[in-house]
Structure 1
Amino acid sequence: MIAPAEIIVPKLSKELYLCSLRPALKDLLLRRIKPLKEEKEEKDSDEFIIKAENDSFNIINSNNYKKDEEKENEESNAKIILINDEWPNISKFNVDKYFKILNKSRNYSLNYEFEFGSIVLYGEVVTSTQTLLDKNVKLTQKLPNGFVTLAAQQVEGRGRGKNTWISPPGCLLFSFVMRHSLNNKAAPVVFIQYLLSLAVVEAVRTEPSYKDIPLRLKWPNDIYVEKFNDSSNSPELVKIGGVLLNSHVFENEFLLIAGCGEELLASILVKFELFYKEFCENGRGFEPFFDIYYKRWLHR
């Protein structure tokens, strides 16, 4: 009898790295969240602590963060957010490459001012990128549209209902913040999860080496690939990703946290933002996307 493989739960990362396309975006973000800092903090300091509903965050300039502080920080539950005008050198996330791809993808639509993906908060191992945003709404409300959290691994990845899992190494898992007006009756919020899953598939297929991969959408939010083999005439369906959308309502808008487990982050964010812009402005909601959605639909 073969013993089941032991599941190794990786240790949560203490440090989170704040990366922005331009230093001015980082500075703007700090100004937005600074009113949330603890009263005991120095008024004019750029280093401060925020206590949100589920987590505490200690914002520190990376130049002032010393390795000999790690033991002291292990005794605190606060997450360390490291900030700097320079992009950090992270072993499992190439920040420079990410922003270059983001800019390249955006250049196809020069007449649109993009937001999504310009500011990223990265942690190597987190509970869940979705939880960081969805369970800390006090902070999330202050974050700009398109703010992204991402990780190399999750130990409490979230799905529909109460489903959780430990993600394997090698994944790029992300969530992002967006706002959707309650007054836009022509663009119902329920369709946004379909737009995101469609954006994932189409972004993957825009890559030349991936354009022939038979990706399929399973309603409402799962992404599958058709895997063919010689022993069967019908393909085997393998799930490779999914989309999760959590919502909060404040005044006249939805505050949405959208999460997904996929590669090609920059291309996905650009594709989704373009889809979302058309969805909100065309006056016909999801109707213009029917043809391409049914083309990728698993339930045909």
Structure 2
Amino acid sequence: MVSAVCGKVFPLFQYQLKHISDPRKFSLLSSSSKMNTELWLCGKSVAETELAQSLKTSNCLKLPDDEAGGNSPALSVRLHSETETPPCEFRVNDYMNALSTSCFGRFLICSPRLGSTHDVVSLNFSDLPVGAACVADVQTKGRGRSKNVWESPKGCLMFSFTIQMEDGRVVPLLQYVISLAVTEAIKDLCQQNGTAQLDVKIKWPNDLYLDGLKIGGVLCTSTYKSKKFNVSTGIGLNVGNEKPTICLNAALRKLTPVACELQREDVMAAFFNKFEYLYDIFTQQGFQSLEDLYYKSWLHSGQKVIVQERIDNQDKVMEELVTIQGLSVSGYLLATSEDGRTFELHPDGNRTPNNQQRRENNQFRLANLSEFTIISGRLGPFSFNYTTLIPILALFFLDTPKPINGGSGCAHPASVLSGHLRTSLLGMDTPKQSAEPVTLSSSDSSDDDDFKPQTKRLKCTDAAGEIFKPDFKYTSGEDVLLRKARMYQEYMKVIPVPTKRGSVIPFTSWIGLGSSIKQLYKQPLHYLTNIHLRELDHLRISPPGGEEDNRPLDSVVSPVKAEASIWLMEEVHRLSSSPHHLAKLWSSDRMYHVYIDPIFAGEKGLSSSRLVVQ
């Protein structure tokens, strides 16, 4: 079941090769974590080889705690050049000879057996060069959603690598470039070998399919540090393993019995060669330059899906048949209904449909692609995935105003308007923080029962730490408040606030920033009201490494930051309310002057209001 969500959630699909459901296999995995783990380092150039030597000497590489075997010396770092017969079946020399990149894949970590290559590059990101890769012959703890454990057998190509980006607006589109590079690399290899073409397709957003069966996929995660996005990317591809679905070589044998088999080393080198070429186009010209090629490789053009939306709190579900047209500017699926309405579809899970749900009259129910959500509709319920930080963060950067005339500053919001409204708004100062230092804290009335309503109320303190007293009065007249409300609604429409229902402020604690939300957003939070989190019992995330899934949001992040995010959702509703309703809200809110008055500092007749504390 899919309902409208109030959050642009963009789960990044993980490759799924074999589900471990046998308890005996679970015990095998747990015992394997106590085995000695070997990491073999090598580089293509002298400089990269010297870096490998330095990493070995410094002994700084790490594994996750549960993989390092407690206090036992489980990790051994070696140089590939130290022996003529390293234990890895991955032929490093063949790979390096086929690699022609200037950045990606040149520094390699290889292991005969790892829990997760993705964990290795993520945990050691700061110690590795950009483009560093890690590959394993066998992977025992492949990462999946809902805490699934995946085993990747021999013959499967499993590797991860690092990317670093500065422009947050394009980070969500990176996974499309990676998926496209995989399909193009396979085509290049088939052409070089003179074999029949393997038509590997992309199932949006980043699963790879061949002959209707999943053959691989991509996982991207990101952290933000020192004004850069550190992206760890994992790829799993069935090259020589026919189980559990299909592999490239099995498909080749069906097409040409005497076909030359593809080798993991060649596939991985071909991927990096192609990815570096596409990545340069992507960063210099944008994803639009790759869209035509991408659409040739995906499964969804003209495909019909049924979106489902729960109606308010009722059990009724509204269904709408839509046709997929392509990608929206923000990277989601763009679809149209039969009456011409446009939908932006967001993934919400990666569930496998049962056999009865599959093809029917050339139409697919929603679950046959994945589960989608639409951003129109009521507030809630919410759905978040803690690991999908990239697209949530991108909500800001997608709507950030562009510099004018090559300058570094942003356009005044009124510059996009005209007539008397433009004249009025130009008289207002660009949003700035109030001169009065204000600290926000929160009282928490959360109940242990997650399904009960929860109420949060903000406290406002002055520079001395004194809480503003509840007895107060305003000097603003009703007519002034009403005029402010009208202008404020127009003003909020043109500043870079995501204005669609469902837009959510990203929580700074999710990405490790020490700065405040308003510093990240580059604008103050203009208005905070006493917030009743009517839907907080639906707002959930799954923290990495947490003991429980679906924990309430404010049990993981600071309540005040949760409130700030809910504020934006509430603000979206205020923009669609009447100015009379907005003025009425302000008249009963003691925090109104702290956040609203600075906006109207330059507007005559609107800046005389002040908060009087008695």
Same fold (TM over 0.5): yes
Q: Partners in 1 of 2:67 and 2:61 — Cα distance?
A: 6
1:223 lines up with 2:198 in the alignment: no
For 2:226 and 2:78, the matched residues in 1 are separated by: 32
Q: Which residue of 2 aligns with 1:290?
A: 291
Q: Is the 8 A contact 1:117 1:148 kept in 2?
A: yes
Quote the residue 1:253 is aligned against.
Answer: 228
**How has the CA–CA distance of structure 1 residues 250 and 30 changed in structure 2, closer, same or farther, with 3 Å as cutoff?**
farther
After superposition, the Cα gap between the structure-2 partners of 1:178 and 1:247, relative to the gap in structure 1 and judged at 3 Å, is same
- 268, 272, 276: which one aligns with 2:275: 272
Deviations 1:19-61 (A, max 9, x none): 1112321213555x5xxxxxxxxxxxx6343375835999xxx
Higher relative contact order (CA 8 A, sep 6+): 1
Which of the two has higher C-alpha Rg? 2
Aligned to 1:232: none
Structure 1 position 205 matched with structure 2 position 187: yes
Q: Is the 8 A contact 2:52 2:79 kept in 1?
A: no
Are the aligned partners of 2:216 and 2:235 in contact in 1 as well (CA < 8 Å)?
yes
Partner Cα distance (1:55, 1:122) in 2: 20
**1:75–1:160 distance in 2 versus 1, CA, 3 Å:** closer
Distance in 2 between residues matched to 1:53 and 1:6, nearest whole Å: 24
Note the 1:130-149 alignment, pairs <5 A: 130-134=118-122, 136=123, 139-149=124-134
Out of 189, 196, 202, the residue aligned to residue 171 of structure 2 is: 189
Deviation at 1:163, TM superposition (A): 3.4
- What are the residue-to-residue correspondences of 1:96-245 with 2, within 5 Å? 96-103=93-100, 106=101, 114-134=102-122, 136=123, 139-160=124-145, 162-182=147-167, 185=169, 188-207=170-189, 208=191, 209=193, 212-226=197-211, 237-245=212-220
* Alpha-carbon shift at residue 84 of structure 1 (Å): 5.5
Query: Could you tell me the TM-score, scaled by structure 1's length?
Result: 0.72
TM-score (normalised: structure 2): 0.37
Counterpart of 1:97, as a letter, is D
Q: How many angstroms apart in 2 are the aligned matches of 1:53 and 1:15?
A: 11
Once the two structures are aligned, what percentage of the paired residues are identical? 32
CA distance in 1, matches of 2:288, 2:149: 33
CA contact (8 A) 1:13 1:123 kept: no
Q: Quote the offset at 1:140 in angstroms.
A: 1.4
What is the one-letter code of the residue matched to 1:280? Answer: T
3-state SS of 1:273 partner: helix
Deviations 1:203-236 (A, max 9, x none): 001012555212110011100001xxxxxxxxxx
Q: Cα RMSD over matched residues?
A: 3.0
Is this contact kept in 1: 2:125–2:162, CA < 8 A?
yes
User: Is 1:15 aligned to residue 16 of structure 2?
Assistant: no
Distance 1:206 1:160, change over 3 A: farther
Specify the code of the residue in structure 2 equivalent to 1:141. Answer: S
Aligned residues: 243
Partner secondary structure for residue 174 of structure 1: strand
Distance (Å, rounded) in 2 between the aligned partners of 1:51 and 1:93: 21
Does structure 1 residue 50 correspond to structure 2 residue 60? yes
- Of Structure 1 and Structure 2, the greater strand share is in 1
Look up the SS of the partner of 1:172 in the other structure: strand
CA contact (8 A) 1:16 1:79 kept: yes
Can you list the C-alpha shifts for 1:269-288, whole angstroms capped at 9, x where unaligned? Answer: 11111111111111xx2111
| Contiguous gaps of at least 5 residues in structure 2 | 1-21, 238-263, 302-614
Match of 2:85 in 1: 89
2-structure distance, mates of 1:93, 1:166: 18
2:59–2:77 CA contact under 8 A, matched in 1: no
Contact 2:141 2:149 in 1 (8 A): yes
